[in-house]
């Protein structure tokens, strides 16, 4: 089956930023041959977090998610590559860093604490539709490049 050229969104979460892991994680993505199409550091507003996490914004734990995501600025990254969405998620490992295998990004760098499941280094889009919406949410027109 031929591979599809895709672009996905990665958010380096506050744990990655504060532990200075962004360069090392980005290097892993680039080693896989993925191309950076957009990258920027930004603070996340209540509004963008409510939109991004709309599937959990009404849950009682959402304020802690919002608080975590506002601890530091995040780095938004648009990556392009063949089957990049699935391949990035495989490189990251499971969302729960406690069960992520060594050699995956979350297995190597994620918090190993049952109470810190959201501290898992990166968010990554889970489908082409989500990637398109998320890239539009975090990047303005003219901030995604081809070269």
The residues annotated as belonging to the active site are 123
Burial of 46 (0-12, 13-18, 19+ CB in 10 A): exposed
Task: Please say whether the beta carbons of 98 and 114 come within 8 A.
Answer: yes
Task: Please say whether the beta carbons of 4 and 83 come within 8 A.
Answer: yes
Q: Residue 7's closest CA among 136, 142, 114, 140?
A: 136
Partner residues linked to 35 by β-bridges: 80
The values of phi and psi at residue 10, to 5°, are: -120, 135
């Amino acid at each position: 089956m031929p591979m599809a050229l895709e672009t996905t969104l990665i958010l380096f979460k506050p744990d990655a930023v504060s532990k200075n892991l962004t360069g090392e994680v980005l290097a892993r993505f680039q080693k896989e041959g993925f191309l950076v199409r957009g990258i920027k550091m930004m603070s996340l507003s209540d509004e963008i977090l409510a939109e991004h996490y709309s599937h959990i914004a009404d849950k009682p734990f959402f304020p802690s998610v919002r608080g975590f995501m506002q601890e530091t600025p995040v780095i938004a990254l648009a990556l392009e590559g063949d089957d990049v969405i699935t391949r990035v998620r495989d490189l990251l490992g499971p969302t729960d860093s406690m069960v992520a295998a060594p050699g995956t990004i979350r297995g190597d760098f994620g918090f190993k604490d049952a109470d810190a499941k959201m501290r898992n280094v990166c968010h990554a889009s889970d489908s082409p539709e989500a990637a398109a919406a998320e890239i539009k949410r975090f990047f303005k027109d003219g901030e995604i490049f081809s070269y």
